[in-house]
Amino acid sequence: MTLTAAADGSALGNPGPAGWAWVIDETQWRAGGWPRATNNQGELMAVLDLLLATAHRADEPLHVLCDSQYVINSVTQWMPGWKRKGWRKADGKPVLNRDLLERLDAALVGRTVTFEWVKGHAGHPLNELADDRARAAATAFQAGREPDAGPGIAGAGSSPTVNVATPPAPPTLF
Q: Is 13 a catalytic residue?
A: no
146 contact partners, CB below 8 Å, separation of at least 6? 140
If one counts the domains in the chain, the total is: 1
- Phi and psi at residue 153, in whole multiples of 5°? -115, 140
Residue 157 within a domain: no
Which pLDDT value is given to residue 157?
59
Which pLDDT value is given to residue 171?
45
Residue 159 within a domain: no
Strand pairing report for 62-66 and 113-117: parallel
Which pLDDT value is given to residue 147?
97
Q: pTM score > 0.85 for this model?
A: yes
Pick the catalytic residue: 59, 86, 92, 121? 121
Pick the catalytic residue: 42, 67, 150, 152? 67
Radius of gyration of the chain from its Cα atoms, rounded to whole angstroms: 15
Residue 109 within a domain: yes
Which pLDDT value is given to residue 21?
98
Residue 11 within a domain: yes
Which pLDDT value is given to residue 155?
77
Pick the catalytic residue: 32, 33, 42, 43? 43
Which pLDDT value is given to residue 164?
40
Which pLDDT value is given to residue 118?
95
Q: Is 105 a catalytic residue?
A: no
Residue 163 within a domain: no
Residue 18 within a domain: yes
Residue 172 within a domain: no
Q: What is the pLDDT of residues 50-101, one digit of tens each?
A: 999 999 999 999 999 999 999 999 999 999 999 999 999 999 999 999 999 9
Q: Point out the residues of the chain with pLDDT beneath 70.
A: 157-174
Q: Is 43 a catalytic residue?
A: yes
Which pLDDT value is given to residue 124?
87
Burial of 23 (0-12, 13-18, 19+ CB in 10 A): buried
Between CA 157 and CA 162, with CA 158 as vertex, the angle to 5 degrees is 135
- CATH number for the domain spanning 7: value is 3.30.420.10
Query: Could you list the residue range(s) of the whole structural domain that residue 137 is in?
Result: 3-142
Residue 77 within a domain: yes
Q: Is 121 a catalytic residue?
A: yes
